[in-house]
Amino acid sequence: MRVVLATHNQHKVDEFQKILGARLPELEIVKYEGPEPIEDGVTFAENSLIKARAAARHTGLPALADDSGIAVDILGGSPGIFSARWAGHGRGDQANRELLLDQLADIHDDQRGAAFVCHIAVVVPAGAPGDATAGDAAAADIAWEDVASGFWRGSLTREPRGANGFGYDPVFVPSGLDVTAAELSPEEKNAISHRALAFENVIPLLRMNVIP
Ligand code: ITT
């Protein structure tokens, strides 16, 4: 059955298809191409729901959306929901990483703890395709929705390392490892990442509420 994935981020599409495709081959994950809602939530969970509701309403299909980022302990959880635009809208992953490392330049190695955070919303529309820009959380056109989360602890390097992955992967060393997430193979990352852990919680939701 078809499920739409509401994201612009091709890296997320790849990870969704790899992780979910292996576990739930009956799902065909299609990238959402319709109107975009304003992501004005103040939490990862809210933003994931805003994106998934828009896709569910516009397509009439069950929708998934991922809102994720990196939360740095000494910065009180920032960049958090602003991870994708930490250095400014459209500046890109490298500028975001460089700014974060600059902000932590004087921070001692044992105070560089951080966590990757991933919230995945699952939204089932009530009926036919509707208005993707409607923002009401209690709208009657949504039959069911829920959010699952995953967290991946680690610490930040002083220099980027590795060519795999995306975003903050080159500056994040997962707890218990001495390589960055960008030095892991896609298969290694997808087995242990925040997104993989969120999927562990999404899969039962999909089995109970989405897959016939
Ligand atoms: P969509 O909203 O279209 O899904 P986005 O990239 O703007 O795409 P987010 O607002 O959820 O998505 O921001 C996620 C950012 O957090 C992403 O751009 C990366 O900078 C970072 N991030 C999330 N997951 C990551 C991962 O697995 N590895 C490295 N960085 C990650």
ipTM: 0.98
Give residue 143's domain range. 2-209
Global confidence as pTM:
0.94
pLDDT of residue 41: 97
For the ranges 60-64, 96-100, 114-118, 135-139, the lowest mean pLDDT is seen at 135-139
- Give yes or no for residue 112 CB within 6 A of ligand 1: no
Domain CATH number, residue 51? 3.90.950.10
- Give yes or no for residue 66 CB within 6 A of ligand 1: yes
Please indicate whether residue 93 is annotated as part of the active site. no
pLDDT of residue 93: 96
Q: Residue 155: name the closest of 109, 98, 95, 207 by CA.
A: 109
Cα(29) to centroid of ligand 1, in Å? 18
- Give how many domains the chain has, as a whole number: 1
Residue identifier of the C-alpha nearest atom 18 of ligand 1: 84
Ligand 1, atom nearest to 166 Cα = 29
Catalytic residue among 67, 73, 136, 141: 67
Ligand 1 pocket test: pick from 168, 184, 192 the residue with the most ligand atoms within 8 Å of its Cβ.
168
Q: What does the pLDDT look like over 181-205, one tens digit per residue?
A: 999 999 999 999 999 999 999 999 9
108 labeled binding residue: no
- Give yes or no for residue 167 CB within 6 A of ligand 1: yes
- Give yes or no for residue 67 CB within 6 A of ligand 1: yes
67 labeled binding residue: yes
H, E, C per residue of the chain: CEEEECCCCHHHHHHHHHHHHHHCCCCEEEECCCCCCCCCCCCHHHHHHHHHHHHHHHHCCCEEEEEEEEEEHHHCCCEHHHHHHCCCCCCCHHHHHHHHHHHCCCCCHHHCEEEEEEEEEEEEECCCCCCCCCCCCCCCCEEEEEEEEEEEEEEECCCCCCCCCCCCHHHEEECCCCCCHHHCCHHHHHHHCHHHHHHHHHHHHHHHHCCC
pLDDT of residue 92: 96
Mean pLDDT of the chain: 93
Ligand 1, atom nearest to 193 Cα = 27
Confidence of residue 206 (pLDDT cuts 50, 70, 90): very high
Percent of residues, the chain, with pLDDT higher than 70: 93
